[in-house]
Amino acid sequence: MRPQNWDRLLYNLSFSNAVILYSEPQDALIRYLSDIQEEFRLSYIPSLKNLTEDKLIAQIAKQLFNASNATGMDLKQLVDHYDDNNNCYVVAINGLPGDGVINQLLQMMQYLAGRFNVIFEVDADQASQFMLDYPSQTISFIGNRAKAERASRSVTKPLNKVSSGSLNPTKGGKPATKSAKSVFFWLALAMICIAFLATVGWMIFKPKVESQALQTTELKAESVQAETQTGEETAEPQTEQALDFVEQAISQKDMTAAEYFAKKQTELKTDSESPDIESSLKPNDGKPELAAEASEQAQMPGSEELSDSEQQEGDSEASDLGEPVTEQLEETVPPFVESEAVAEPEPYDNNWYQLQNQSEYVVQLTLVSSEKVLTEYLAQMDNLAELKVYKSDKFYGVTTGLYSSQNEAYQAIQDLPDKLTREGAFAKPVAAITTLISNKN
């Protein structure tokens, strides 16, 4: 069975990005170090005695990264140099170090959010001092918090006396309590007054609002009625025209299409020839011989033959007009061909890393969490042909170059421009990237 504070400690290390102030003298932090080491890379500093800030940073780097020579480097440089993006770190210190070390640790908590945790094993006075020095820092307190709060109040007691002014505080802080109660009383009274005034105003203006709404409804009803009457008046002549057309269609329902169009053609020809016939039938200004010739031509048998042939031509033309044109339209309309969708290429190339020699190294420039951020980053680069991108389970990594050894990769980093190294470029083995890709699959 694990000790009593382990569940709280593991929860804060796994799900919160807060500084853990551990203050439990009867349940020392050393009891949990082996359990922490199973889940995280751990650096534990049991004592700050005779440790300068540089020596303390070097000792943390040695425990976290097995770095033998870390003198002159800050914690961020060490993380950029040794971190492989696959580990979570915990730095536990017995006591409070100097402000320089604390600031570096807090910076790393923001830089590696969710993967870098800090535990200070302190007493109540040290906990209260940390809360006063870093009031905006998120803190998770494990231990006797009441003692820390009392110590914090004892530190700020002179300020409270000065701010109280001419008050005569009594035992238990009764004046402050009375002041708070009076504030709440006046706030409650103000809210009641506002509610009463709102109710009265609603009762006064409610009839006016209802009358305006009724007038608006009546106007809308009148406009709808006027529109309906106008529509009926305009619809009557259209209805009469439609009825005339229906009667014509009913009277001609026994006619075929050819007969109908032949009749129309004959009527058109009769209308066009009627002026000539009338002119021929008129008296010719005292010339009876012309009228006699016209009557003889009308009685000739050849005229009936011409009328019969003309009627046959009309029938053929009507039958031609009655044929459907659907087949011609189908021939002229080209068939619709669906265009094949072109798949967009992926922004990463995992196969390239799997085909390389696994003992070689690349220079990793950055690691982003989404394709949108990756696109924005690549848009700022000028040498896209020299960059490679891989995708792990949750991240996109951007690399450049391919080197046979780690030293060659480090030398290449020194020659890169600041634009590529500003986000912490470091040498990374191809084998580690291949492992991340395999875990993704």
The answer, yes or no, to whether residue 117 has pLDDT greater than 90, is: yes
Question: What is the rounded average pLDDT of the residues 128-136?
Answer: 90
Question: What is the rounded average pLDDT of the residues 259-281?
Answer: 59
pLDDT tier, 325 (very low <50, low <70, confident <90, very high otherwise): very low
- Amino acid at the residue 425: A
- Rounded to 5 degrees, φ, ψ at 362 are -125, 165
Helix axes 53-65, 75-82, angle to 10 degrees: 20
Measured in whole angstroms, the distance separating CA 326 from the mean position of its chain's CA atoms is 50
182-194 pLDDT, tens digit each: 888 899 999 999 9
Question: What is the rounded average pLDDT of the residues 321-347?
Answer: 51
Q: Is the dihedral of CA 312, 318, 319, 320 positive or negative?
A: positive
CA–CA separation, 272 and 226 (whole Å): 48
CA–CA separation, 27 and 401 (whole Å): 51
The answer, yes or no, to whether residue 133 has pLDDT greater than 50, is: yes
The answer, yes or no, to whether residue 360 has pLDDT greater than 90, is: yes
User: Concatenated DSSP letters for 41-103?
Assistant: EEEEES--TT--HHHHHHHHHHHHH--S--TT--HHHHHHHH--SS--EEEEEES---HHHHH
pTM across the whole model: 0.37
11-21 pLDDT, tens digit each: 888 888 899 99
Question: What is the rounded average pLDDT of the residues 349-367?
Answer: 91
CA–CA separation, 43 and 27 (whole Å): 19
Cα separation values, 52 from 55, 58, 101, 108, 134, Å: 5, 10, 10, 19, 22
Residue 150: predicted pLDDT: 57
Mean pLDDT for all residues in the chain: 74
The answer, yes or no, to whether residue 361 has pLDDT greater than 60, is: yes
Contact 66, 78 (CB under 8 A): no
Measured in whole angstroms, the distance separating CA 91 from the mean position of its chain's CA atoms is 37
Cα separation values, 119 from 89, 142, 217, 235, 340, Å: 11, 10, 71, 87, 59
Say what the alpha-carbon torsion angle 266, 267, 273, 275 is, to the nearest 10 degrees: 170
The answer, yes or no, to whether residue 294 has pLDDT greater than 50, is: no
CA–CA separation, 95 and 130 (whole Å): 11
The answer, yes or no, to whether residue 137 has pLDDT greater than 80, is: yes
Q: Which two tokens stand for residue 128?
A: 């209260």
CA–CA separation, 401 and 383 (whole Å): 12
The answer, yes or no, to whether residue 302 has pLDDT greater than 60, is: no
CA–CA separation, 37 and 90 (whole Å): 9
Q: Which residue shows structure tokens 């923001």?
A: 110
